[in-house]
Amino acid sequence: MGDKRASVDEMVAELRPGMTVGFGGWGSRRKPMAVVRAIVRAGIGDLTVVSYGGPDVGLLCATGLVKKVVYGFVTLDSIALDPHFRAARQAGTIEAMEVDEGMFYLGLLAAAQRLPFLPTRAGLGSDVLRVNPELRTVRSPYGDGEELVAMPALVLDAAFVHLNRADTNGNGQILGPDPFFDELFLGAATRRFVTAERVVAPGALLDEGPIQTVTISRLLTDAVAETPGGAHFTSCPPDYDRDESFQKNYAGSGADPEAWNAFSDRYLDVDEAGYQEAVRQAAAAAKSQSAQAAP
């Protein structure tokens, strides 16, 4: 049986400019951020990004690597809006496909099931149909004759998800409360990449949690990489919560070019080990500052 271990840089080396790439997670939760950072380092651009959007979308917009975003929302959860996505939309530098969250889900499901579309009521009567003139409706062939939205398959060239655990064969485990749509992102993609907080030997996932937590089977995985802190600064429970102080710093980096350059120099112009070290230093500095401030 194949050992699917690879490095994040090897995964990202399979991307080409112009590809359509999906990212798992939701908002600022369990996002494959180590992968996003590696894409930024590699400078692979002209991407169509498909995401329940969070700082994955924002960082790729900020670094000019995005041609188009497919989304239902982009949010940082505890901070409502991502400044870099907003800036790119307001400057008109990116294309957009904005759909209802449920339409988005059906688009991934259709792709995973090799269907051209799935029907839904969601979208009827809304401006989602006006701003996406390529969307079509379909009439039920049965007696009801209802006219429904035909949500097209969101077919991905590549998908990345970040999980709590995986094994070397590519089975993946989610120990947090919500699997989100990760399984569907992988199912919708030609190349399927899993990163995890820890990669264990085949069979050892059941030492970590019950079989129901192993929702990603190796049928859905081409390569797997161990990336501790790989979702930072987004949340990855039970391994860690969102780093709210870092997220504030990230959101603040949208204020002006100077703030962005400072953020970028410190956290993006370094490799992943350098990033994690910079994060540790920032946390230590914040801690010593708050200790000094205490009475």
Partner 1 sequence: MTEVTRAEVVAVACAEAWRGDGEIVASPFGTIPALGARLARLTFEPDLVLTDGEAALMANTPSLSADRSEFVLEAWLPYRRVFDVVWSGRRHVMMMATQVDRYGNQNISCIGDWAQPKTQLIGVRGAPGNTINHTTSYWVPSHSRRSFVERVDMVGGVGYDRAGAAGPAAQRFHEIRVVISNLGVFDFETPDHAMRLRSIHPGVDVDEVVEATAFPLAIPDDVPTSRLPDADELELIREVLDPTGLREKELPS
- Contact residues for partner 1, defined by CB under 8 A: 26, 53, 71-75, 80-81, 85-86, 89-92, 98-103, 105, 120-128, 130-131, 146-148, 177-181, 184
- Which one, of 126, 131, 122, 73, lies nearest residue 102 by Cα? 122
- Which one, of 4, 14, 54, 5, lies nearest residue 38 by Cα? 14
Burial group, residue 86, by CB count within 10 angstroms (0-12, 13-18, 19+): middle
Cα angle 56, 57, 62 (rounded to 5 degrees) comes to 100
CB of 46 to partner 1, least distance (A): 19
In terms of CB distance, is 85 or 267 closer to partner 1?
85
In terms of CB distance, is 21 or 106 closer to partner 1?
106
In terms of CB distance, is 122 or 214 closer to partner 1?
122
In terms of CB distance, is 120 or 221 closer to partner 1?
120
Q: What is residue 43's three-state secondary structure?
A: coil
For residues 193-217, one letter each, b for 16 or more C-beta atoms within 10 angstroms of the residue's C-beta and e for the rest, the string is: bbbbbbbbeeeebeeeeeeebbebe
CB of 254 to partner 1, least distance (A): 12
In terms of CB distance, is 5 or 89 closer to partner 1?
89
CB of 177 to partner 1, least distance (A): 4
CB of 16 to partner 1, least distance (A): 28
In terms of CB distance, is 123 or 170 closer to partner 1?
123
CA torsion sign, 20 to 24 to 26 to 31? negative
CB of 179 to partner 1, least distance (A): 6
CB of 57 to partner 1, least distance (A): 10
CB of 143 to partner 1, least distance (A): 13
Amino acid at 169: N
CB of 67 to partner 1, least distance (A): 15
In terms of CB distance, is 138 or 278 closer to partner 1?
138
Largest CA distance in the chain: 75
Question: Would you say 27 and 57 are in contact if contact means Cβ atoms under 8 Å apart?
Answer: no
Q: Is 173 left (phi over 0), alpha (psi -120 to 50) or beta?
A: beta
Measure the CA–CA gap between 21 and 49, rounded to whole angstroms.
5
Q: How far is CA 69 from the centre of its chain?
A: 12
Cis peptide before 85 (omega within 30 of 0): no
In terms of CB distance, is 53 or 230 closer to partner 1?
53
